[in-house]
Amino acid sequence: MIGALRIGVIFAAFLMLTLALLPVQLIALGVGHSIMQRLPRWWHRIMCRVIGVKVRVDGSLSKQRPLLLVANHVSWKDILVLGSVADVVFIAKSEVRGWPVLGWLARLQRSVFVEREVRRKTGAQISDVSARLVSGEVVVLFAEGTTSDGNRVMPFNSSLFGAATAALPFAPEGKVHIQPVSIAYTGIHGMPMGRYHRPVAGWPGDVALGPHMLRVIRDGALDVVVVFSDSVEFDATTNRKNTARLVEARVRDGLNAALRGKHNG
């Protein structure tokens, strides 16, 4: 009964917040006003509080531009978490566009949808991402290409760093800055989550989105640590595969430190 009441209250809060900000965002998108980049952060921040996701930050977002954030991926909640701490746009799989609610919200946030299996569209998609980078927007890439159980970092796909390469000819000083970001789900209801229970926060691809989302909304009270590591310079002389391995290692180090409680948040 309490769980159902909580779901109802959160759903009502979601509707009120979204309907209040929606007209402003649509107008901003129509006229190209810069508030369209800030409104999503306000929305994500409020929804994290409503759902009960407590976000702590270790480190800070780099002020260097162009800036590509590369993070591990645990759950759909990663969007709320990262979106609450910085004005960012996300690179998302094309199928996300068709998801109920989340796909619509992703479009409002101006996410870049990529079809990784359709090679003839790859060039246009990379150009779209690189254009966002060069314009000064902060773009988020989940380089694992899938979600994990939250206890580990999956191997990074170096081909997904192609947007950084494409942005180089148009970037000031011919450099793109890549900042590793670690997302660690560390607690539930104020208690350490532990390795065994951490998959509760994760969303494996074979689990239906709807039931998982309802369970998270019903239970709430998740603690998350976001670790911003030092950025890596990427230029024409940089080896993409080596950079992918370096960024992957830093994301893994940040995740492991946060899971062990060795963070500054």
We report the CATH number of the domain holding residue 161 as 3.40.1130
- 265 band by pLDDT with thresholds 50, 70 and 90: very low
- 120 band by pLDDT with thresholds 50, 70 and 90: very low
Q: Is residue 265 part of a domain?
A: no
Give me the mean pLDDT over the 92-118 stretch. Answer: 81
Q: Is residue 11 part of a domain?
A: yes
**Per-residue pLDDT tens for 13-48?**
999 999 999 999 999 999 999 999 999 999 999 999
The answer to whether 167 and 132 are in contact (CB under 8 A) is no
Q: Are strands 222-228 and 176-188 parallel, antiparallel or unpaired?
A: antiparallel
Name the average pLDDT for the chain: 88
List Cβ neighbours of 193 (8 Å cut-off, separation of 6 or more): 185, 186, 187, 200, 201, 223
pLDDT at 220 over 70: yes
Q: What domain range includes position 215?
A: 2-259
Q: Is residue 264 part of a domain?
A: no
Q: Is residue 49 part of a domain?
A: yes
The answer to whether 206 and 251 are in contact (CB under 8 A) is no
Give me the mean pLDDT over the 55-67 stretch. Answer: 96
Higher per-residue pLDDT: 133 or 118 = 133
Query: What's the pLDDT score for residue 117?
Result: 54
**Per-residue pLDDT tens for 97-107?**
887 778 888 99
Q: Is residue 150 part of a domain?
A: yes
Q: Is residue 133 part of a domain?
A: yes
Percent of the chain with pLDDT over 90: 56
The partner residues of 88 in beta bridges, in order of sequence, read 138
Q: Is residue 203 part of a domain?
A: yes
Question: HEC profile for the chain?
Answer: CHHHHHHHHHHHHHHHHHHHHHHHHHHHHHHCCCHHHHHHHHHHHHHHHHHCEEEEEECCCCCCCCEEEEECCCCCHHHHHHHHHCCEEEEEEHHHHHCCCHHHHHHHCCCEEECCCCHHHHHHHHHHHHHHHHCCCEEEEECCCCCCCCCCCCCCCHHHHHHHHHHHHHCHHHCEEEEEEEEEEEEECCEECHHHHHHHCCCCCCCCHHHHHHHHHHHCCEEEEEEECCCEEECCCCCHHHHHHHHHHHHHHHHHHHHCCCCCC
Instruction: Tell me the C-alpha distance between 228 and 171, whole Å.
Output: 22
Number of structural domains in the chain: 1
